[in-house]
Every structure is written in structure tokens, then in C-alpha cells.
Amino acid sequence: MAIARNPMSLSIQLPPPLQPGDLLVSIAPSGCVRDKNAFEAGVNLWRSQGYRVEISGIDDRHGYLAGTDAQRRDRLSRALSDPEVKGILYARGGYGGARLLEHWDWNAATTPKWSIGFSDITALLWSWAKQGISGVHGPLLATLAQEPQSSQNRLFDWVSGGAIAPLTGRGWGGGTAIGRLFPGNLAVATHLIGTPHEPDLTGAILAFEDIGEAPYRIDRLLTHWRMSGRFDNIAGIALGRFSRSDVAVPGFTAEEVLHDRLSDLGVPVVSDLPFGHDGINCALPVGVVAELDGDRGSLAICPR
């Protein structure tokens, strides 16, 4: 059965392709940087592509956050409003990105620019997409150097205007769906439901990953999606890695919970895709049109 549910319900604009010499700014909108060596290795990889990378406020601390809300909000606002800045490279995830969205106004952004990260950065990426601008769910500066060359090249190719290959996982059936792709961390995305920063997910392909969530907590998160009606009008679901989900108490595995809560939705589902924590984290653009094949087990980004 083929399914296609209004993939154009949300208009999304890609920022201009990056060119050598473009200025990118690194900020930490969530947790403070813990591994300076990994962070610097990520910065150097971007610089090796010919980009200028400016680092802003990486050493700030406020509890578990990379500075106060006002400091982190100011760094983001400055990067967005500076016309010379072509993209924002997030240093790491952790927690705190959603706090910036409280009392936040995206009107500070004068032109579309790249926004790249994952995990806690999901809150910023999805809110940015609601404004009609596509970001990239992909490696942070703190994780980029750990990626294989193929994953690094995928990210660099996409932001410079190139095409990226389909991802292959395990198909659960359900035919083919075409819709706007919303990749993100399950827990962070769940906490956007009902807020002004939740994008319209009508006809969307949701792509979830997570780390450190016990099976019962994954169950709780997915049950909230079901009870809130947010799964009612989606086109399909793609699943990445759900790492460190084991618990000592016997019960369901994360895989069993995912199957139990998602297999009856009547949409194509593909699992075991190579994105998320603790492994290859292939870049996925946010809000662009994608095709999910639940029979062949593939997720492909449609041509720009």
C-alpha cells in the first residue's frame, strides 16, 4: 500500500550552499563543552573544508549549562542577525536548548542560514523549521571527528549543495510514503508538543533517535504522541539508534517497545537506520521532502 499525505503542508527554504571562505559561528546553546579536544577536532574539520569558524562563548559555565539563558540566547541572536555569518555549528547537546525558546523571537534572523546539530539541538532545529528554514540533524562539533569519513562527507556535501545517498535500515512494511522529514531526539521532540515551537507535522515523516532512555520511558514518550493525536496524520516513521536503553529489571527491550507502540499506526516504518548517538550519525536535513520505503527499508532525500 502506498501512502502520500500532503508533503507540502509546510513551506521550507534551504539556506544558500556554503562556499569556501564563508564564516560559520560555533556556539553552545545547551550544555557546557566537556571534551575540548573533541570540540577542537570538529572545528578543525570544518576549517579543513575552507570555511572560517569563529568560536563564541564556549568556555562559559552556569551549572550544567554553557552560560546563563541570557548569555546563550544572546550568542544565538548575534549569530543569526550577523549578515556575514552563513551558518551556526552547535558545539554539543546536553540540555538547555529549549530554555532559549522561552520568550524567543526568530525575527532576529535576517536571512536563512545553516543550523547544524542533534540531540538537545532538536528543539532549535524544529522551531527553526517552523519558521520555514531547514537545518541539519547531524554531528555536533564535539562528535564530528568520531564519525567515519563517509558520514563527514555526507554532511559537507549537503551544506555545499550536493546530493546525499539514501539510508538503509530494516523495513517493517506499509508501502511507500512521501513527506517532509523531521529528524530529532524523541524525548526533546516530545516536549515540544503543545508549545508554540511545535511545527505542523501533517504529512510528515518522523525520524527518531534517543540515548539513555529505559524501555518504559520510551513507551511513555510514544504513548504521549499517540494520546495527543500527533501520530494521526503523519506519513511514516524512521527510527535510528536507541542506545544505552538496557535496564537491570527484566521486561521489554527498547526494540520491543518501539514495535508495540508503532507497528499498528498504518504507516510505513523503517528501523535500524544509521543515525543517532553512539555510532554513525548520518546527516539528515530537517523539513525537506523525503521518501520512506517501508518494504525495502530505505529513507531517501528527494532532489532539491
Q: What is Dmax (Cα atoms) for the chain?
A: 54
d(CA 204, CA 195): 18
Respond yes or no: is residue 119 known to be catalytic: yes
> Active site residue: 26, 30, 115, 119, which one?
119
> Active site residue: 127, 277, 291, 298, which one?
277
d(CA 29, CA 51): 21
Respond yes or no: is residue 298 known to be catalytic: no
Strands of 82-163, DSSP E: 85-90, 114-117, 136-137
* Residue 4 parent element (H or E): strand 3-4
51, three cell numbers = 570555511
d(CA 123, CA 125): 6
In the block, residue with C-alpha cell 557546557: 32
Calculate helix-pair angle for 254-262, 215-227, nearest 10 degrees.
10
Respond yes or no: is residue 209 known to be catalytic: yes
d(CA 233, CA 227): 13
> Active site residue: 209, 213, 245, 298, which one?
209
Q: In degrees rounded to 5, what are phi and psi of residue 269? A: -130, 135
Instruction: Supply the residues annotated as catalytic.
Output: 119, 209, 277
